[in-house]
Amino acid sequence: MGREVLARQPFSVLVGAELAQLAPGACELQVPVTDQLRQQNGFVHGGVVSYAADNALTYAGGTALRVPVVTSEFKINYVRPALGRRLVARARAEHVSRTQAVCRCEVFAVDEAGTEKLCALAQGTIAVLPEKS
């Protein structure tokens, strides 16, 4: 089901996002780095790093809450430029209530040798979507 949801997100398809792992309250999302995703200095654009964190947070929260969700808010700290061939965003739900989940995410840039370097940390609140009336 997680891959079906990802396939219905046009931006996720555009950047080539892949759902590598999904379990209740946890997610690993990967984005292959292409030249189109880099900024003028050759780093992966911060918006792409942010996207990976946001989507991984939402998957972690959604699988913990087990209902349709959206990101209510999130914050990201870029700790180093993302250089490499792939981004890996790993998120987990840290606290879950009836209406929201607070989740954390680490985003790594992976080089040709498979070495991961932390490039961003994020935390977000994932909220249950209200029922349609």
pLDDT in tens, 95-119: 999 999 999 999 999 999 999 999 9
User: What are the residue ranges in the chain where pLDDT is below 70?
Assistant: none
Q: What is the pLDDT of residue 1?
A: 83
Please report the pLDDT score of residue 117 as a whole number: 98
* Predicted pLDDT at 130: 87
First-to-final CA distance of the chain: 25
The pLDDT value recorded for residue 132 is 81
Domains of the chain, by residue range, sit at 2-128
Integer CA distances (angstroms), 100 to 39, 59, 65, 121, 124, in order: 34, 13, 7, 20, 10
- Superfamily holding 2-128: Hotdog Thioesterase (3.10.129.10)
Q: Is the pTM of this model over 0.75?
A: yes
